[in-house]
Structure formats: C-alpha cells, structure tokens
Structure 1
Amino acid sequence: MLVPKHRENDWIFATESGHLQLLLGSPGISRLILIGSASNGEISVGNLYKSSIENCPIYREKLERSLYPLLMALLPKEIAQLGNVEVPFLSYEDSVISSVVLERSTGSCVGEMLVEDVEIEGSRREFRRRLRFKRMPNLIQTEISVVPNNGVDDTGLNSLCIEEAEFCLDLGVLVHPYLAPMVAGLSLISGYLQECFESKVRPRGLCIGVGGGALLSFLSLQLGFEVVGIEMDEAVLRIAKQYFGLQSGNSIQLCLGDGIEILKKVALFDCDNALSPSVANNAGEEHCKDYFELFGPKFLVIMVDLDSSDSKMGISAPALEFLQKDVLLAAKTSLSEHGILVLNVIPPNGSFYDMLIHELQGVYVDLHEIDCGNGENFVLIASKTSVTCSNSVSENAFLRKLKSVISGTFVDFIRKM
C-alpha cells in the first residue's frame, strides 16, 4: 500500500492499531507492506498536510515498477518459487485534500486524540473539523462542517490557505454519515412527537457517547429536544466545548461517567422512584438517586454511539458491553412508553450483526433498520411498542421539519426487521 506523501506520521500509518485496521479493511490480504513515497528524507511538514501531485497515475506506475524487485525479495520463499507472481498495489484513498492539526492532547480514558481541520474533495471548496483517537485512528469520532469567517468571497475562497483560515462552526447540518440516519429514526414516533410539541412539551433524549457533541447540538438546536449526554472522559468534553461548539445549559446537560453503568443505575428505579428491595443494598441507593435527579423523567429516545476500544476487532460499534441483556433491559426501562433506542452499528462481520439483531428482538417489540449507504454503518431502531413507518407530512409538522433538516431519503427507506 502506497502511503500518501506527508502522511507517513499519521496514526493510520504509524501505529500498530492503524496497521491492524488497514489489514482488516483489506479483504483477502494476509500480508500488507506500507511504502512511504517521501523524497530526500522528508517525512512530514509539521501539523500540515497537502495532497501531492505525485499521486498521479504516471508517477504511481513508475514507482510500482521500481519497487517490484524489492517486493519480490520480501515474498515468502514458497511463493517466490512459483514465479510470475503478481503483487497487488493498493492505495489509501480518502477525500482529504489538505489538513491542519489544531490540537493534540490526551484523555484519561480515550488516550491520545487530535483535532484537525480538513479540506475535502468536492465541486466547491468544503471544510470540516474532525476529532480522532489514536486507539482507533481510522475512525473519525466526530466531524462537523466549518465555513470561513464572514468576508471571504468566492475569489478569496479560491486562494484560502487552510493553515491560515479562521472558521465558523455550522451546527445546523449533520455531515457524519450515520448521524442523519440516526435522527431519521425519530420519524417512527413522529406522531407522538407532534403531540409533544403541540402540548408545549419538549421531548427528552439521552446520548450515550458525546464525542464532539454534534448529535446533541443538532437535536437541541434544530429539533427542540432536551438532551442529556454521557461521556466518560472529561478531556473529550473540553474538546467538544472548545472546538465543536457544544454548549451545556437548559437544553443540554452533560454527565461525566460510564454511560452503560449509569444507565443500569438509573434503570434501578421504578415509576415511583423506589429501588426494588433485591437491589437497593448492593447498588447504593443515594448514588442512584443522584443520577435519577439529574436525568429526571424517562427518555423518549436513547441514542448510542459507542465504538469498540479493542483494535483487534477492527472498526466496530457498538461496544460489546452494550449487547448484554441486562444493559438492553436497562435501556428499555429508561425509555418512556413510546420510547425508542437508536444504535449506530458498524458490524465487523455478519455474525456480529445477526447476534445484535437477535438480542434486540428478544427485548424490544419492534426493530427497524436504516442502511447508511456508505458500506459500513447501519442504524437500528428498537421500540418498546409497535410503531409504523409513516411518510405522510401533510398533517405532521414535526415530520416536515425533520425531512427539511436531514435527507428525506433516510426516512423513506426505513425497513422493518
């Protein structure tokens, strides 16, 4: 695999977890050799990356010819002896034209992380802000749209240098490939949501896994939700506030801790705010009350965006811990009568996905699926009661609003499992 010039030090190519994810993401490949194309001993240029003209086909063809004898020498002897061996050349392709690192820091739970601004390919210059973790470098934890500060016209935009630009955050659009499908799941309860807004009641949502907070901000600013976010690393919350515009206040509450453990503690309460005798002594009643008072009434939607921290599984979500039956039951208990559980799913294999579907169908009444269309993510929506897909917007102002702020395609292609 040819590493893009000046990206040799990117965690994707310079860490064991990055190597493993590249290998797992290359079906049929059991031995992967990474080759840097830097010249004159030049490896990187500070925190700045710009795509090189040396990625052109003519340059690549020359490079492959020059490298072929070396690759033949590195082949296992039993393979080399066969003769006429064809060595496939892979290239790492993504949409990044240039990038600049804004901050590198370390969280007590997530480890090393970085915030970067990137320019991506498109018909017009387009910029994003991203959060990535070293433990899973090939996975973008958070991505939001950013635009140059006011005063930059088309002429100025064409000459804009990413390392010198000042950007404003655009929190009104979801650019991460699975966030819009997660929000589209709300269409399954759009009738009840319409009743909430007609009664001047703000629906409540719980987000387990905050990251940069793009989902929380969107639910609050665009759809009028009250949102509680649980994040286990305080450094991640600081990054979310400083770089991604997450603002805690009346409509967004943030809780520091393990989302799965907190969910189980909150679920210990019944409708009368009382712990069952069998668990009261073991759970610590006062501690549970603290969580219950923070979260208040039950949630209409729980959205889970938790990736696996085990790089040996490759890129995978949700974390295996969330698939335990007691956790799924705790989520169900924490939902209101019309509530839904929405999961971002990146299945490492078919058996993982089948197991997840089986576990959810064993706890919830209905299960729906949205294919995110990127060949990687799926969204599963589990409901406490039977729900029906309705695409009619004539009498539902909430559904009209929902389709106006996300792609209506995701709403139209929800599939019942």
Structure 2
Amino acid sequence: MALDVTIFETIIPSRFLSFTVPHPTLHTHLLRVAVLDSPIQTSDSLIVAALFVPENRESDWIFSTESGHLQLLLSSPGISRLILIGKNPINVPDSLMISHKRDKDTQFVKNLENSLKPLLIALSPKLSVKNGIFDMPFLHYEDNLICSVVLERSVGVLVGEMLVEDVEIESHSELDDNCREREFRRRMRFKRMPNLIQTEIRIVPEPDFVLDRIRIGGKVQFRPDTGVLVHPYLIPMVSGLSLVGPHIEDRIQNGYKPKALCLGVGGGALLSFLRSQFGFEVFGVEMDEEVLRVARQYFGLQECEIQIFVGDAIQYLETIASGGSSSNFVSCSDEEDHLNHATVFNTKFDVIMVDLDSCDAMSGISAPPMELIQSHILFAASSVLCDFGILIINVIPPSRPFYDTLIHKFREFFNELYEIDVGNGENFVLVAKMLPFPSSVSESQNTFLKKLREVVLGKYLDSIRKI
C-alpha cells in the first residue's frame, strides 16, 4: 500500500512511523526511514533534521527502536522532527553482529543526501519550508566505538530486555595523543534506554595472544579487570572517600574493615573495586535477579566476597534503619553462613554509595529517583551511617530546580555537602558528610589516602568543592 505523505504535513507530538523505500544508489538494498515527532513542541518555528545511521550499526537499539530514536531526538534541543535513514536491518545471529567503524565517505553521503531530497521534502511539514527554500540540517552521530559483538541478550523481570556486548573503543596514549592504544570493554545496556551504558568494565585478553592480532568476536577469551574503573562517574564517586580518609584510616589501623553499602549493583564494578582495592566489607542491593546473574557471569562479580540482597534499594534502606527483619530480602550468597542477617541489620556503615536512576524514555534519564530525597528516606540514610560516615550519590539533574531541591533536602540531615563535577556535562557526584573526624594522622601518613591517590585520578580529588 502506498504511503500517504500528506500525514507528514503537520507535527503530531510523539508520533512515530517507520517504513522502507528502495535504496537510490544500491539497487539490491532497501532503506529504512523512521520519523519521530518530538513530544515537546516549544515554539512556532519547526526544525526538521535528518540523521544517517552509521554503516553496520543499523541493528543497534540506538537506531532501530523508538526509544533509541527518542533519545537521539531529545539530545538535539530544538528539533521538532528527526528523520533516521539507514539500510534496512538484516537479522543475523548475535555471534555475528560485529560492526566496524569506517572512515567517512563524504562524497557518498553527499550523493545520498541529494538523491533523497525529494523524499525529505515530502516528510517535512509545510511550515518548515520557508519562502520555497528547503534547508534541512543533517546531524552526525559520533562515538568512540570501533567494533562490537553481542555476547548475550536476556530479559529481566524488572529492567526488561538487556544485552551484554564486548567492544573495542578508540583510546589514545596519555603521553602521546597521536598514539592509539587498544582498549577493550564489556558493556551492559537496557533496551528501554539504549543510548545509556548501564555498566562498563575493562576486559583484558587471556595471556599468550599477540595484541595486534586480537579481534573482538574472534577466538580470544577476555576476562574482566575489576581492579580499574572506566565508567565516567564511578571514579569521582570513589574520590569522595577522601573526605572521610582519616576515619577510614582509623578503622583500618584498629583492625576493622570499613563497611560500604551500595544501593544499585548493576554489573558490580563499583562493589568489586571497593572490595579488591581497599578491602571494604561490601553490601549491595539490586532489584533484578537477572541483572545479578549477568553480573556474575560476565562482569566478575564474586558474591563469596560481597554480600548482596535482591529487592528495592530504598525499601531496604528503610528496613535496616528501623531495625526490621531481613526476611523480605533474598540473599544471593551461595553460602548461608556467609551472611549474618542480624549483623547486617544492626550495623553502621562508613559509606553509603547510591547509583540509582529514574529511567523514562519520554523525559530521559535522571538520578537519583525522587523517592530517595523524601525526608524519611534521608533520615534513614543518616541513621545507618556511623557518626563520621559519608553518603555519596551519582546525580543526573533533569533541571537546575531539581538539583537545588536535592541540595536543600540534604542540608536538613547532613553537616557538610560537597560536589564533584564529573566533567561530561551530565553527571555530578554529591557527597553528604555527617561529622568531621578528629585525627592526629597527617595526610602523608594516611595509607588509605595514599592508596586512593594511586588508583583514582588526582583531578577528581583536587576538584572536590564544598557547597
């Protein structure tokens, strides 16, 4: 049935349509065209933009799903309609889904733009063609991906469809920006927010392989490297521990392991890092058992060393604050004796780290969820921290008023507040501190702070700002 192009003459917020047309230059191929109208129409001026899907990325959720399309549109403020154009995706086994980054063929893209001009005019509202002149901006999608292969797709009861993929990304030597180094990562992504990398860790090839011959998706086996953090905001979160360095040092010197409660586990990179690098006794809460299964299988999460509960993290915080029973939460430990419920529910933590988001494809990602900043939840958090403890939160503010409200609420329950700018234009790390620790140990004698400076970037330690 022929497509009625008159339906595109007006903008209908959130309308999404996709269809195929013959490829104008590759006659054996079809082009997939997807049109999405922004859910937010803020002005009378209509701006329509087009984006060509990078070659060999056509099956990626970012470009093949409505939620991915919406995230692309929302990341380009002012766009009323975004048109995606790419080869029609071909279903192939996941083990063969390898995409390689290629140099741009600018002339080929230019010819394609010219060939598709009549179609693009037909897909544009009448008001966007001014004085008979058609001028559509073409957006370009850029990331650091060189190649990738999907290891597994699975479905979590709560998070929905997710995938695990190994990737090679562009990386440059710290000493010479022109010198390219090979960098391999493992990622977890959720289909509901495909542009968001939920978890990312570094992976290293097993020994006895020549690095130049290693290829993602080949015969080489990779193993997780849990001794380093690569997710953009995790290093700044760990840097926040410097604010309680004297207290942590005192705990260690007196023969105690510092205790950390991590609300949100994901792939477990942060939990594994705290355990392996600093010897923390780590507790974690994750709501979806399938996410934990994936974390164990692919991301190096060792539950013989880390104590994890399955359940709602905020509810868990309330429960332990009230001294309630742990019967509503399931321990994932294989050894029943490993976890003493009574100890967990009567302990005080030296640090609480919160990595919880509120994902809504219509409005984008924000963190933390609004439930966390309720007064009784913040009181619960402060009550399970020791006197010199610290609360560290990954924050993605959807607006400045949200961030101001967050800061105002935290001031009601914590003595000091600090901020770390992650530097990606999106994340902040907010650090809420109980009381200053009276220590006679100098920073140069503090072995914990020395270790911290060895494993995290000094720029984050030096950029902590009291607010």
Change (3 A) 1:318 1:56: farther
Say whether 1:337 aligns with 2:387.
Answer: yes
How much is the aligned-residue C-alpha RMSD, in angstroms? Answer: 2.2
Which secondary structure does the structure 1 equivalent of 2:168 belong to? strand
Which secondary structure does the structure 2 equivalent of 1:238 belong to? helix
CA distance in 1, matches of 2:71, 2:89: 26
User: What does 1:376-395 align with in structure 2 at a 5 Å threshold?
Assistant: 376-386=426-436, 393-395=443-445
Which secondary structure does the structure 2 equivalent of 1:33 belong to? strand
What's the CA shift for 1:28?
1.7
Q: Is the 8 A contact 1:265 1:291 kept in 2?
A: no
In structure 1, the residue matched to 2:353 is 303
* Structure having the larger proportion of residues in strand: 2
Q: Is the 8 A contact 1:323 1:356 kept in 2?
A: yes
Say whether 1:67 aligns with 2:116.
Answer: yes
In structure 2, the residue matched to 1:234 is 289
Letter in 2 for 1:99: S
Letter in 1 for 2:163: L
Say whether 1:361 aligns with 2:418.
Answer: no
Letter in 1 for 2:266: G
Say whether 1:217 aligns with 2:272.
Answer: yes
Query: Which of structures 1 and 2 has the bigger CA Rg?
Result: 2
TM, length-normalised to structure 1? 0.89
In structure 2, the residue matched to 1:165 is 220
What's the CA shift for 1:259?
0.6
Say whether 1:128 aligns with 2:185.
Answer: yes
Say whether 1:104 aligns with 2:158.
Answer: no
CA distance in 2, matches of 1:363, 1:21: 35
Letter in 2 for 1:377: N
Say whether 1:55 aligns with 2:126.
Answer: no
CA distance in 1, matches of 2:225, 2:420: 25
Change (3 A) 1:164 1:63: farther
Percent identity over paired residues: 54
Letter in 2 for 1:188: L
In structure 1, the residue matched to 2:233 is 178
Letter in 2 for 1:76: P
CA distance in 1, matches of 2:93, 2:111: 28
Q: Which ranges in structure 1 are unaligned for 5 or more consecutive residues? A: 270-282
Corresponding residue to 1:258 among 283, 298, 312: 312
Which secondary structure does the structure 2 equivalent of 1:315 belong to? strand
Change (3 A) 1:307 1:292: farther
What's the CA shift for 1:29?
1.4
Letter in 2 for 1:263: L
User: What does 1:86-101 align with in structure 2 at a 5 Å threshold?
Assistant: 86-101=135-150
Say whether 1:22 aligns with 2:72.
Answer: yes
In structure 2, the residue matched to 1:82 is 131
Q: Is the 8 A contact 1:4 1:55 kept in 2?
A: no
CA distance in 2, matches of 1:60, 1:385: 60
Q: Is the 8 A contact 1:366 1:387 kept in 2?
A: no
Change (3 A) 1:370 1:212: same
Which secondary structure does the structure 1 equivalent of 2:165 belong to? strand
* Structure having the larger proportion of residues in helix: 1
Say whether 1:349 aligns with 2:404.
Answer: no
Choose between structure 1 and 2 for higher RCO, CA contacts under 8 A separated by at least 6 residues: 1
Say whether 1:202 aligns with 2:257.
Answer: yes
Corresponding residue to 1:148 among 205, 209, 234: 205
CA distance in 2, matches of 1:286, 1:144: 33
What's the CA shift for 1:346?
1.3
Q: Which ranges in structure 2 are unaligned for 5 or more consecutive residues? A: 1-50, 172-179, 330-339
Change (3 A) 1:228 1:96: same
Per-residue CA deviation, residues 175-197 of structure 1 (Å, 9 max, x unaligned), is 00000000000000101111111
In structure 2, the residue matched to 1:277 is none
CA distance in 2, matches of 1:13, 1:387: 51
In structure 2, the residue matched to 1:318 is 368
Which secondary structure does the structure 2 equivalent of 1:32 belong to? strand
What's the CA shift for 1:55?
3.3
* Larger CA deviation: 354-363 vs 254-263: 354-363
Letter in 1 for 2:60: D
Q: Is the 8 A contact 2:203 2:225 kept in 1?
A: yes
What's the CA shift for 1:60?
2.7
Per-residue CA deviation, residues 320-378 of structure 1 (Å, 9 max, x unaligned), is 22122211111111111111111111122222222222221222111101111111111
CA distance in 1, matches of 2:455, 2:183: 19
